[in-house]
């Protein structure tokens, strides 16, 4: 069974940094593209970033480009999202998900809440 | 960015009745590899999203066959043949043909 468990969310001040992690199990992590998707509670889904199987290709939403960095450690079956220069509009539940670049996120974690406030 | 527009925003449906959700994109979703990358997701209240359908009409494992997807180019539809109580939630379409990936705004399905 595919399991994706996010961690690292919490309260951070505007301008601060946070690193999210996503521990994967139940599938071949090193063969899977991985995504981050966020959702303000009560609002819609917003795709954030994707990384290919070996980490050599990444893509970002314009709203986070230059501030967020996606990475992975295939030896640890873990996906990361380094978030810098955080803004109020970055506050959301962040989901990690596995899935190809075209068909998108096929399996999702339970999400981790990021709050940006002074 | 490709804009994905869903309608209706809210869809009250009686149990056992069919439901249909429309999804339109601002550009063709036919990728250079020949595939059309349009997926559908379901988010039940209090749960993480779940993908139902990918590449227009391919159901994910475990998805009931009352869910079906159709369409081409820029115009797509998700149909539920007979709505059940467990189908309540918000449905999103997503295009994967162009970066960045973009979701529609969502359609809330509720029981009338």
Q: What's the rounded Cα separation, in Å, for the pair A115 and B85? A: 33
Q: Do B49 and A103 touch (CB under 8 A)?
A: no
Give the model confidence (pLDDT) of B27-42 as tens digits.
999 999 999 999 999 9
Q: Do B54 and A60 touch (CB under 8 A)?
A: no
Of B41, B97, B106, the CB nearest to A102: B97
Give the model confidence (pLDDT) of A34-45 as tens digits.
999 999 999 999
Q: Do A103 and B54 touch (CB under 8 A)?
A: yes
| Strand A78-83 relative to strand A107-108, pairing | unpaired
Q: How far away is chain A from the Cα of B84, in angstroms, using its nearest Cα?
A: 23
Strand partners, B89: B109
**Chain A contact for B108, CB < 8 A?**
no
Q: Do B51 and A106 touch (CB under 8 A)?
A: yes
**Six-digit token pair at B34?**
């020949």
Among the listed residues B23, B22, B24, B15, the one whose alpha carbon sits nearest the alpha carbon of residue B81: B15
Of A44, A59, A103, the CB nearest to B55: A103
Q: For residue A6, give every residue at least 6 positions away whose Cβ sits within 8 Å of its Cβ, in sequence order, or none.
A: A20, A21, A22, A94, A95, A96, A109, A110, A111, A112
Low-confidence spans in chain A with pLDDT less than 50: none
**Six-digit token pair at B55?**
């590449």
Contact B103, B96 (CB under 8 A): no
- DSSP calls for A10-65: EEE-TT--EEEEEEEESS-GGGS-EEEEEE-TTS-EEEEEEE-TTSS-EEE-TTTT
Give the model confidence (pLDDT) of B51-89 as tens digits.
999 999 999 999 999 999 999 999 999 999 999 999 999
Burial readout B53-83 (b: 16 or more C-beta within 10 A, e: otherwise): bbbbbebbeebeeebbbebeebebbbebeeb
**Chain B contact for A103, CB < 8 A?**
yes
């Amino acid at each position: 069974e595919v399991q994706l468990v996010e961690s690292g969310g919490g309260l951070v001040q505007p301008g601060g940094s946070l690193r999210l992690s996503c521990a994967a199990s139940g599938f071949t992590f090193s063969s899977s593209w991985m995504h981050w998707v966020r959702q303000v509670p009560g609002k819609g889904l917003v795709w954030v970033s994707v990384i290919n199987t070996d980490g050599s290709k990444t893509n970002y939403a314009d709203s986070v480009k230059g501030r967020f960095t996606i990475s992975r450690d295939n030896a640890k079956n873990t996906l990361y999202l380094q978030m810098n220069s955080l803004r109020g509009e970055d506050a959301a539940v962040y989901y990690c998900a596995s899935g190809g670049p075209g068909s998108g996120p096929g399996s999702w974690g339970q999400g981790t809440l990021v709050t940006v406030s002074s | 960015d490709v804009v994905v527009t869903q309608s209706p925003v809210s869809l009250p449906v009686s149990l056992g009745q069919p439901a249909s959700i429309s999804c339109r994109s601002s550009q063709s979703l036919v990728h250079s590899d020949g595939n059309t990358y349009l997926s559908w997701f379901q988010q039940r209240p209090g749960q993480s999203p779940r993908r139902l359908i990918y590449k227009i009409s391919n159901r994910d494992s475990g998805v009931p066959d009352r869910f079906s997807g159709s369409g081409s180019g820029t115009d797509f539809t998700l149909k539920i043949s007979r709505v059940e109580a467990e189908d309540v939630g918000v449905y999103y379409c997503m295009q994967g043909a162009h970066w960045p990936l973009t979701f529609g705004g969502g359609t809330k399905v509720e029981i009338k």
